[in-house]
Chain A
Amino acid sequence: MNLRLYLARRFLMLAPLLLGLSLLTFTISRLVPGDPVGLAAGPQASVEIQEALRKQFGLDQPLPIQYLSYMRGVLQGDWGRSLYTRRDVTEALSVFFPATLELTLAAVLLATALGVPAGVISAMYRNQFPDHVARVISLFFVSFPAFWLAMIMQTVLGRYAGLVPIGRRFPVIMSPPPQVTGLYLVDSLLALDFAAFSIALNHILVPALVLSFGALASITRITRASMIEILERDFVRSARAIGIPERVVIGKYVLRNAFIATLTVISLNFGWLMAGAILIETIFDWPGIGLYAVHASLSLDFQPIMGITIVYGVLFSLVNILTDVAYGILDPRIRYG
């Protein structure tokens, strides 16, 4: 099957999944034992005002009708409004989404940059001192509650040492780089504004580092395991026998083959880190979807929550599809199908 057909099929299979997901979150949101409308209207609101609010948000309709009209809206780009702030969910998501994406991508890159070399070293010195050290370090860091470590690094590096900003993506008094992708690091480079790039980098460094710890252990472990498996193959012995330098054997032949398993774990971790970003955003006041999600769930504001889960679902599914495409690039023997 060629790539285009394969992609078309994958995207087609995405539709029922997202439909199921929306049904699931809709069910969850209507399970609420409390009364979101009563909460939103405030304690002084009269019954008439509450009824009016209910009518305005369509909550007086039967549930199947509510779901259908919500889905009609979703397909037309109208994802409803917050009960509290009355802000459009679509508009809010489009503002918050790039911030979360940038943080997650930065963390995934950092986790790969730290975890893959650690795994390679572990495999090369298996069951020797460097292997044990790498194992302990990765287990050490993955065991931290990320929000707690974030708080400590924010205070020590930001407040006490003054090395990095204590929060947010960009100084409030400055205007961020002109929006192209919404990722400040990319946008500032596109605008050739290196000062803005270093400011944005300074802001994202600590949050992304803390977030990346959550993925470190699994990336190290899988890289080690698959490197060891490949190292025992005959072609590696042949490569060494004909005098190819060890550096090239490891870097070019073994790692490339071992990276397929690692890639699977990295893409799984993308989902983990995207969710972990919720906590990191809370600490660093990072204006992303996570912060939005926490506020919305604390106030039982379910229109935003439904939008948020759908966005997470779409993004995570896209990452999975991209991963499958990448397998074929890494190993041309893998056929799409």
Chain B
Amino acid sequence: MVEISSKTLQELQSEARSAHRENLRRSLYRFRSNTLSMIGLAILLFIIFIAFAAPILVPFPEDAGGATHFLDKLLPPSAEHPFGTDKVGRDIFSRVLMGTGLALQVGITIIVLATTIGVTVGAIAAYFGGAVDDVLMRITDIFLTVPALVLAIAISAALGKGIINAMIGISLVWWPGFARLTRSLVLSLREEAFVEAAYGIGASHMRILFRHILPNAVSPIIIKMTTDFGFAVLTAAALGFIGIGAQPPTPEWGAMIEDGRHYFTDEWWVATFPGMAIWLLVFSWNLLGDGLRDVLDPRARR
């Protein structure tokens, strides 16, 4: 007791900071020593660079929209068109690169929306318990009785075709996983002594929940966000492929694959390159997520 009170507030704070920094340093070391996730990170940074630089890099930026060049239709890959051209003569290389930013935005939007809804629902359910918990978790269960893609198709179709509605539809079926996870985390954190202490000094429920409990539940939520990102991108592409998501001429990779599907036997390049782009993005993210899991949850990998 004496020892603690003999330290000034500044000393205590700087001690806490250096412990924090030490933890971060160790995590970074674990992450850096994982070759696979470093490869994933490198590919991902390259993809992000492409997303920003695409409008300057690509030879035919206007082809990302509704431009048509019927004289050049369905040309095989060449020096001028590295990925060939599609059925109206648009340069597929330009379209794939210009679609990178869209794919990233779609994935991020879905995950952020789903996390926001899910974490809020799960945290409120666990913190308040009782009837609130019952009602919220029964609603969550209803969403979990059906595989996500099925409901996402139904909701997006009902809202109307288009990439925005597809993102809304996917987010609306994606949150229950986050709600379940957050609920289980908050349930155990709620019993900790620091929560009681915060309550004791008169902190409000919202303050306890968002400033004291949730920051301690961040790691597993981040792990789920990264591992889910790839699946969210795949799901959005699937909706585009079915014809419910992005509509042509949007350079969305899933819709581009659907576009090339009917030419695939002879003009294989139309559908092949957008598919490889999806794979590269999801693969790099999965490599990264795998490494992040090791860093944030050391028990997961031994």
Q: Name A273-319 residues within 8 Å CB distance of B.
A: 274-276, 278-279, 282, 293-294, 297-298, 300, 302, 305, 308-309, 312-313, 316-317
Can you list, as one digit per residue, whether each of B120-154 has a CB less than 8 Å from chain A (1) or not (0)? 00000000000000000011011101111111011
Q: A143-B282, A300-B157 are in contact. Are A293 and B150 (CB under 8 A)?
A: yes
- B210 CB → nearest A CB, Å: 29
Q: A145-B257, A145-B278, A155-B264 are in contact. Are A21 and B145 (CB under 8 A)?
A: yes
Q: Name A119-151 residues within 8 Å CB distance of B.
A: 126, 132, 135-136, 139-140, 142-149, 151
- B215 CB → nearest A CB, Å: 27
Q: Please, which residue of chain B has its CB at the minimum distance from the CB of A218?
A: B227
Does the CB pair A228–B154 fall under 8 Å? no
Q: A151-B264, A155-B264 are in contact. Are A139 and B142 (CB under 8 A)?
A: no
Taken together as a complex, chains A and B put the C-alpha atoms of A31 and B145 apart, in Å, by: 21
Does the CB pair A20–B138 fall under 8 Å? yes
B: number of interface residues (CB 8 Å): 46
- A28 contacts partner chain B, Cβ-Cβ < 8 Å: yes
Can you list, as one digit per residue, whether each of B250-270 has a CB less than 8 Å from chain A (1) or not (0)? 000010010001001100100
Taken together as a complex, chains A and B put the C-alpha atoms of A300 and B150 apart, in Å, by: 14
Does the CB pair B146–A309 fall under 8 Å? yes
Main secondary structure of the interface of A (DSSP, over half): helix
Taken together as a complex, chains A and B put the C-alpha atoms of A191 and B56 apart, in Å, by: 65
Q: Name B228-286 residues within 8 Å CB distance of A.
A: 230, 234, 237-238, 241-244, 254, 257, 261, 264-265, 268, 271-272, 275, 278-279, 282-283, 286
Q: A34-B160, A147-B241 are in contact. Are A18 and B286 (CB under 8 A)?
A: no
Q: Please, which residue of chain B has its CB at the minimum distance from the CB of A294?
A: B242
Q: Please, which residue of chain A has its CB at the minimum distance from the CB of B147?
A: A275
- B37 CB → nearest A CB, Å: 11
- A303 CB → nearest B CB, Å: 12
Q: A297-B244, A298-B244 are in contact. Are A155 and B154 (CB under 8 A)?
A: no
Q: A228-B302, A275-B148 are in contact. Are A298 and B257 (CB under 8 A)?
A: no
Does the CB pair B147–A135 fall under 8 Å? no
- A315 CB → nearest B CB, Å: 10
Can you list, as one digit per residue, whether each of A137-177 has a CB less than 8 Å from chain B (1) or not (0)? 00110111111110110010001000000000000000000
- B159 contacts partner chain A, Cβ-Cβ < 8 Å: yes
- B45 contacts partner chain A, Cβ-Cβ < 8 Å: no
Taken together as a complex, chains A and B put the C-alpha atoms of A30 and B261 apart, in Å, by: 33
Taken together as a complex, chains A and B put the C-alpha atoms of A149 and B302 apart, in Å, by: 33
Can you list, as one digit per residue, whether each of B60-97 has a CB less than 8 Å from chain A (1) or not (0)? 00000000000000000000000000000000000000
Q: Please, which residue of chain B has its CB at the minimum distance from the CB of A301?
A: B157
Does the CB pair A308–B241 fall under 8 Å? no
Q: Please, which residue of chain B has its CB at the minimum distance from the CB of A224?
A: B301
Does the CB pair A31–B36 fall under 8 Å? no
Q: Please, which residue of chain B has its CB at the minimum distance from the CB of A123?
A: B302
- A17 contacts partner chain B, Cβ-Cβ < 8 Å: yes
Does the CB pair A279–B146 fall under 8 Å? no
Taken together as a complex, chains A and B put the C-alpha atoms of A282 and B268 apart, in Å, by: 18
A: number of interface residues (CB 8 Å): 55
- A29 contacts partner chain B, Cβ-Cβ < 8 Å: yes
Give the residues in chain B near A151, CB-CB below 8 Å: 257, 261, 264, 271, 275
Give the residues in chain B near A317, CB-CB below 8 Å: 145
Q: Please, which residue of chain B has its CB at the minimum distance from the CB of A24?
A: B142
Give the residues in chain A near B113, CB-CB below 8 Å: none
Q: A147-B238, A148-B257, A312-B147 are in contact. Are A28 and B302 (CB under 8 A)?
A: no
- A182 contacts partner chain B, Cβ-Cβ < 8 Å: no
Taken together as a complex, chains A and B put the C-alpha atoms of A72 and B130 apart, in Å, by: 33
- A272 CB → nearest B CB, Å: 6
Among B142, B147, B237, B272, the residue within 8 A (CB) of A21 is B142
Does the CB pair A298–B265 fall under 8 Å? no
Can you list, as one digit per residue, whether each of B204-238 has a CB less than 8 Å from chain A (1) or not (0)? 00000000000000000000000000100010011
- A164 CB → nearest B CB, Å: 15
- B22 CB → nearest A CB, Å: 25
Q: Which of A16, A149, A151, A225 has the most chain B CB atoms closer than 10 A to its own CB?
A: A151
Does the CB pair B150–A275 fall under 8 Å? yes
Give the residues in chain B near A152, CB-CB below 8 Å: 272, 275
Q: A21-B142, A135-B290 are in contact. Are A309 and B150 (CB under 8 A)?
A: yes
Residues of A within 8 A of B (CB): 16-18, 20-21, 24-25, 28-29, 31-34, 126, 132, 135-136, 139-140, 142-149, 151-152, 155, 159, 217, 225, 228, 271-272, 274-276, 278-279, 282, 293-294, 297-298, 300, 302, 305, 308-309, 312-313, 316-317
A-B contact pairs, 15 of them (CB 8 A): A21-B142, A24-B142, A28-B155, A126-B302, A135-B290, A145-B241, A145-B275, A145-B279, A148-B279, A228-B302, A274-B147, A278-B149, A297-B154, A300-B157, A302-B158
Residues of B within 8 A of A (CB): 36, 138-139, 141-143, 145-151, 153-155, 157-160, 230, 234, 237-238, 241-244, 254, 257, 261, 264-265, 268, 271-272, 275, 278-279, 282-283, 286-287, 290, 300, 302
Q: What 9 pairs between A and B have smallest CB-CB spacing? A: A275-B147, A148-B275, A275-B149, A297-B157, A143-B283, A20-B142, A143-B282, A313-B145, A271-B147
